[in-house]
Amino acid sequence: MTPLDPAEALEPGDAAWEGRAASFGRYAPARLLRLLLWGAAGLALALFASALFGGVPLRLGDALAGRGPDGAIFWSLRLPRVALGAIVGAALCASGAALQGLLQNPLADPFVLGVSGGAAAGGAVAVLAVDLLGLGERGILGLSPRVALGFAGALGSVAVVRALASRSGRLFGAAALLAGAVLNALAGALVLLAELALAPARAQELLFWLQGNLGYPPPALLWLAGIGALASCVLLALLAGRLELLSLGEEEAAQLGVDVRGTTRWVLAACALGVSAAVAVSGLIGFVGLLVPHLLQMRLGPDRRLVVPLSALWGAAFLVLADAAGRLTFLPLGFEPPVGALTALLGGPLFLWILRRELGGPA
């Protein structure tokens, strides 16, 4: 069982320590490549199915050729939406898998740790500044204030969590969860104040964004979020080997040549980049970074070198399919639920189940 706190670090000779050490022998680049190919195929199938099926039936030939209304719906509406879902799902799930490995805590997740809340609070402040101060929607180098302040909010949350939950360079998972809960409360208060200060129409727009929706962002923002998410996922995948060594304990990892503090800083910065990119375009989508990594670990084991990159691929596929399922299931009722509500309904019970299991109760 994974310890809830690094203070309960694994010791050489323990069964859990031996199990993690044995995982190094089971890892093979060929296996990773094979699993990545399967993940890429699953993502491609999810993207195609979600883009093709919806409230309006499309003729496949016209849609792919870009002819008539079917082509316009496919290329201008559905394909950007599924691309957005893939970007957000990959960033959140890769970040969740990396944070769980870094903190040695199965409950770690960008939403739970307050990273998503910090990005949302920064975005809400940006909307308020644009509305009240008359600032432009496009900032320096075309970077919108919402994206810039969202990244600043996520990075600030990471810095606060690290400062409050660290002692002598060691990051304690349980303390990080408590700090994240406090930060989420503070972020919620900031968002509420921003909503009260805005005009009703703008406040409704902010509320819709924060509910966790996959809409139809402008191409420039979609590209910007995609670049941020890709950079985050690639960096986290490159750091996955160090995260796996950290699972043996910080002292053991340091003896094996891992720069523990440097690795911690880079992982947290990469998570902040990916989460802020996701929140900027979709709002708050909770628990998806908890759900997908745990499903993969149940099948593949806890090796971060497998779980982190595969979480990006299967997380992208999962969120795309969750959005499509929500659209199609509630179509007869005449509305679409926010995808953030669906992921909370799935991930919330999983969070409670993991917590019960880690506290020694019946699973």
Lowest mean per-residue pLDDT among 101-110, 306-315, 319-328:
101-110
**pTM, rounded to two decimals:** 0.86
Asked whether the predicted pLDDT for residue 7 surpasses 70, the reply is no
Q: In the numeric block, which tokens belong to residue 237?
A: 């995948």
In a 10 Å sphere around its CB, with 0-12 CB exposed, 13-18 middle and 19+ buried, how is residue 8 labelled? middle
Percent of the chain with pLDDT over 70: 87
Would you list the domain boundaries of the chain?
48-358
Asked whether the predicted pLDDT for residue 236 surpasses 70, the reply is yes
CATH class of 48-358: mainly alpha
Mean pLDDT of the 138-157 span? 73
Mean pLDDT of the 175-185 span? 88
Mean pLDDT of the 71-76 span? 89
Q: Distances in Å between the alpha carbon of 120 and those of 224, 306, 358?
A: 17, 30, 30
Rounded distance between C-alpha atoms, residue 226 and residue 203, angstroms: 27
pLDDT on residue 334: 79
Residue 136 pLDDT grade (very low, low, confident, very high; cuts 50, 70, 90): low
pLDDT on residue 126: 85
DSSP assignment of 57-100 equals: ---HHHHHHT-HHHHHIIIIIIHHHHHHHHHHHHHHHHHHHHHH
Q: Is the dihedral of CA 142, 145, 151, 156 positive or negative?
A: positive
Lowest mean per-residue pLDDT among 52-56, 224-228, 292-296:
52-56
**Contact 92/212 with Cβ under 8 angstroms?**
no
Q: What is the pLDDT of residues 191-208, one digit of tens each?
A: 889 888 888 888 888 888
Q: What is the pLDDT of residues 242-258, one digit of tens each?
A: 999 988 888 888 888 88
Q: Distances in Å between the alpha carbon of 346 and those of 1, 264, 280, 287, 343?
A: 23, 29, 23, 8, 5
Q: What is the pLDDT of residues 31-68, one digit of tens each?
A: 899 999 999 999 999 999 998 888 888 888 888 888 88
pLDDT on residue 56: 84
pLDDT on residue 5: 42
Mean pLDDT of the 87-115 span? 90
Asked whether the predicted pLDDT for residue 23 surpasses 70, the reply is no
Strand partners, 167: 170
Residue 6 pLDDT grade (very low, low, confident, very high; cuts 50, 70, 90): very low
H or E element at residue 113: none
Percent of the chain with pLDDT over 90: 26
Mean pLDDT of the chain: 84
What is the rounded (10 degree) CA torsion for 16, 20, 26, 31?
120
Mean pLDDT of the 149-165 span? 85
